[in-house]
Amino acid sequence: MVWIRPHLPEDLDEIEPMKQALRSCQTVIDITLHPALWGGALQGTEATILKVFGRGLGLQPDSGSASTHIEAELIETLSSISRSHIDFYALQFDQALEEFQLEGAFRLLEEARADGLISHLGLFPKGSLAASLTFWHFNDAFDFVVLEHDQQEKFSVLAQLAKGRRVGIVEVGGSTGANPVIRAAKSAQEIEMFSSIPR
């Protein structure tokens, strides 16, 4: 199964056909790169949506600020898609975070999931393997993990950990197989092609 991550096309006249293709898409759509544009295009549809969030979390000076930062991102996302919940929400981190930053973020995320604002909470570890393992051990209440296929050692270790904890794996790059794969789409034709790949 391919999940689609729409990018801005080189030819801006392609945006409207891409929006039309996304509206009829039968796979998960990752609106991370341009949530207002792609999320806005999906308003009023039953599309399954993924959003990766968390940039700037490491800059927050205390637990309350970390919680407020995540809350603001969630509200912005829900506003862009005009929905009361998001299907897949993945916390991305690029560096080791302070314990108070994690506590603030997880407090808000657990409340949001309990309130039905987030259906599936994920982790997208972009930092080192050591930081990824520390982060995951701090809180393992994730439903899925997004792993970059081109980082082989980290992919292997974290995929094994995910399987052991019965956490779903979504790959960025790689070939379609047992796990969903996120693919960049820069045209309506690519969206249509990726959404037609059998589940």
> How high is the pLDDT of residue 5?
95
Buried/exposed 82-100: b ≥16 CB within 10 Å, e otherwise:
ebeebbbbbbbbeeebeee
Q: Comparing C-alpha atoms, which of 117, 113, 171 is closest to residue 142? A: 113
Provide the residue ranges of all domains of the chain, joining segments of one domain with +: 2-195
> How high is the pLDDT of residue 199?
53
Low-confidence stretches of the chain (pLDDT beneath 50): none
> How high is the pLDDT of residue 176?
67
What residues contact residue 45 under an 8 Å CB cut-off, 6+ apart?
23
Largest CA distance in the chain: 46
Buried/exposed 118-133: b ≥16 CB within 10 Å, e otherwise:
bebbbbbbbbeeebbe
Q: Domain 2-195 - what CATH class?
A: alpha beta
Within 10 A of 16 (CB to CB), how many other CB atoms are there? 11
| Tens digits of residue pLDDT in 114-143 | 999 999 999 898 878 887 887 777 777 889
| Calpha distance 53→91 (Å, rounded) | 5
> How high is the pLDDT of residue 198?
62
> How high is the pLDDT of residue 136?
77
> How high is the pLDDT of residue 125?
87
> How high is the pLDDT of residue 170?
94
What residues contact residue 122 under an 8 Å CB cut-off, 6+ apart?
88, 89, 90, 91, 142, 143, 144, 145, 146, 170
Please provide residue 180's backbone torsions phi and psi, each rounded to the nearest 5 degrees: -60, 150
> How high is the pLDDT of residue 140?
75
> How high is the pLDDT of residue 157?
92
Residue 86 CA: distances (Å) to CA of 48, 78, 79, 156? 8, 7, 10, 29
